[in-house]
Structure 1
Amino acid sequence: MSIPALTLKGVTVSYGGRPAVFSVDVTFPIGSMTAIIGPNGAGKSTLLKGALGIVPLLAGEARFFGLSYQDARRRVAYVPQRASVDWDFPARVIDVVMMGLYAETGFLRLFRQRHRDRAMECLSRVGMDAFAERQIGALSGGQQQRVFLARALAEAGELYILDEPFAGVDAATERAIIAVLKDLKAEGRTIIAVHHDLSTVPDYFDRVVLLNRERIADGPLEEAFTQTHLQSAYGGRLAAGQVADLAARVG
């Protein structure tokens, strides 16, 4: 049996001085595409930030390909929430994407033509090569999200972790992003994304983690994306008919 791309064991996180995630055990197999879903305040983003060391763990551990994050970080690409980024920072689109190459170039940032060429290839993959010289802050929200995905592509990771990649983007950007993510999965990469639109889960993902401060369920859609688990995770936030319709789309 192969080592999972990410294993969380007993992960407990406090965020902003308040308990957010309790003793979560989840495994993300290599080559899978997983949505982390749950109501607002369920700790979805906090869980990932804890795994990546962005916020400290109170208990438990996260293992990436069987290793600590420090030892595996060059194999992991992270796309943060767009709302958490300072878009006033004076940087061109091409500069932002080449930041994904720092592990290769080092802090001296001795970029060569081949690095720029690679960055341009990543921008082309997300349909943003024509914007390479634009200031990042001058782009629309959807365009900014595409650029950050291009930066993750430049890192050439094996595991891609995305925190709400479709939040606040237009339909064309959402289609472009999911097409790239499905291509990555077809190449054998692993995708983990915090996701809010339950209606697209069956179309976009093959696995799901349902979270509401604790793990409610996880696994393939047909096992985890069920009426019982959705109701347990969301409680009265979802109408019974809505839950039934969502679960019926998997089968």
Structure 2
Amino acid sequence: MVMALASVDGKTASEDLASKPLTVRGLTVSYGEKPAVFSVDMTLTQGRMTAIVGPNGAGKSTLLKAALGIISPLAGKALVYGQPLKTQRHRIAYVPQRASVDWDFPTRVIDVVLMGLQRELGLLGRVRARHQARAMECLDRVGMRDFAERQIGQLSGGQQQRVFLARALAQSADLYMLDEPFAGVDAATERAIISVLKSLRAEGKTVVAVHHDLATVAEYFDDIFLINTRKVAEGPVESTFTAENLNQTYGGRLAMAQIDQLELAAG
């Protein structure tokens, strides 16, 4: 006898999972004896922007990397649109922390963006006019067209971050995962990046980013995922970005005046 899958709001469980860009269940990662992430569940909603927020050492970047398969978890799993990661990598674009990249590697800006077309270029890597044009369009979108022939190491930190975002855009992904995209960048670059991310959301894409600046959470994001090794809370900013959840996440390290101000911004 074949058992039917349980129905969730008129959908089967498998159909519901297939509509979710990323579903993480029971994810645990350890560096040595102490877990960096412990039994974390997370679910992203299609077409929304989610901030992963928590104190330093809370496991934010670790969670992102484990969900991407960059580091191996001790337990748990991550599904992309209801399927194993290995079958869905083409639907994901990843922007790493700028500090983790070797900027001394001798390559041009345009070549970095073309790396985003690797699946399309194939093993031979033959770049055609249409590939070059697409890479230039992506650079234009982040305001870096005029730097296409520049060596990547000659750029400022903010310019380098824009180039890596352009590489992600070239992948034409459905899910964009960014690790601290605003860390160490100038105000103009931050405005440019958030403008591009919001335009991706307007196109129906899903964005998740590790984020540190609590003051901009309500302005930049739709949803928030609060973590301090374990998940504290997740959901829409307006209902989840609360004093209670912030206190639990930061262990009382935030001043009450700051929390009140943040709650006010979240509406």
Q: TM-score, normalised by structure 1?
A: 0.98
Give the aligned residue type for 2:70: I
Q: What SS does structure 2 have at the residue aligned with 1:22?
A: strand
Instruction: Confirm or deny that 1:111 pairs with 2:111.
Output: no
Highest CA radius of gyration, 1 or 2?
Answer: 2
Unmatched 5+ stretches in structure 2: 1-10
Query: Please, what is the CA RMSD of the aligned residues?
Result: 1.0
**Aligned residue number for residue 63 of structure 1:** 79
Which has the higher mean CA deviation after the structures are superposed, 239-248 or 170-179? 239-248
Please tell me the residue identity of whatever aligns with 1:81: Q
Within the alignment, does 1:132 sit opposite 2:142 as a pair? no
**For residues 106-138 of structure 1, what are the alpha-carbon distances to aligned partners after superposition, in whole Å with 9 as ceiling and x for unaligned?**
121111010000000000000000000000000
Partner of 2:106: 90
- Tell me the amino acid that sits aligned with residue 213 of structure 2: D
Query: How far apart are 1:250 and its partner, in Å?
Result: 1.7
- Judge which range, 100-109 or 17-26, deviates more: 17-26
Query: 1:5 is aligned with what amino acid?
Result: P
- The structure-2 alpha-carbon separation of the partners of 1:16 and 1:241, relative to structure 1 and needing over 3 Å to count, comes to same
Question: 220-229 or 149-158: which moved more?
Answer: 220-229
Q: Which residue of 1 aligns with 2:41?
A: 25
Cα distance in 1 for residues equivalent to 2:122 and 2:83: 22
**In structure 1, the residue corresponding to 2:266 is in which secondary structure?**
coil
Summarize deviations over 1:182-239 as a string: whole Å, max 9, x none: 0000000000000000000000001000000000000001221011000100123210
Partner of 1:100: 116
1:75 counterpart (83, 87, 91)? 91
* Residues 1:5 and 2:27 are matched in the alignment: no
Aligned residues: 251
1:77-109 CA-to-partner distances (Å, cap 9, x unmatched) read: 000000000000000000000000001111211
Q: CA deviation at 1:247?
A: 1.1
Written as runs of structure 1 = structure 2, the 5 A alignment for 1:90-239 is 90-239=106-255
Is this contact kept in 2: 1:208–1:225, CA < 8 A? yes
SS in 2 for 1:57: coil
CA deviation after TM superposition for structure 1 residue 17, in Å: 6.2
TM-aligned CA deviation for residue 15 of structure 1: 3.2
Amino acid aligned to 1:33: M
Structure 1: give runs of 5+ residues left out of the alignment: none
In structure 2, distance between residues paired with 1:199 and 1:126 = 24
Partner amino acid for 1:111? V
Query: Match of 2:198, SS?
Result: helix
CA distance in 2, matches of 1:140, 1:17: 38
Counterpart amino acid of residue 138 in structure 2: C
Q: Distance in 2 between matches of 1:17 and 1:123?
A: 43
Looking at structure 1, the residues matched to 33 and 97 of structure 2 have their Cα atoms a distance apart, in angstroms, of 21
Partner SS, residue 70 of structure 2: coil
Code of the residue aligned with 1:198 in structure 2: it is L
> In the alignment, is the contact (CA less than 8 A) between 1:42 and 1:213 conserved in 2?
yes
Query: 1:16 Cα shift?
Result: 5.9
Paired residue for 1:245?
Answer: 261
- Alpha-carbon distance in 2 for matches of 1:70, 1:211: 26
- Whether contact under 8 Å (1:202, 1:221) holds in the other structure is yes
The residue type equivalent to 1:60 in the other structure is G
Q: Give runs of ≥4 in structure 1 deviating > 6 Å.
A: none
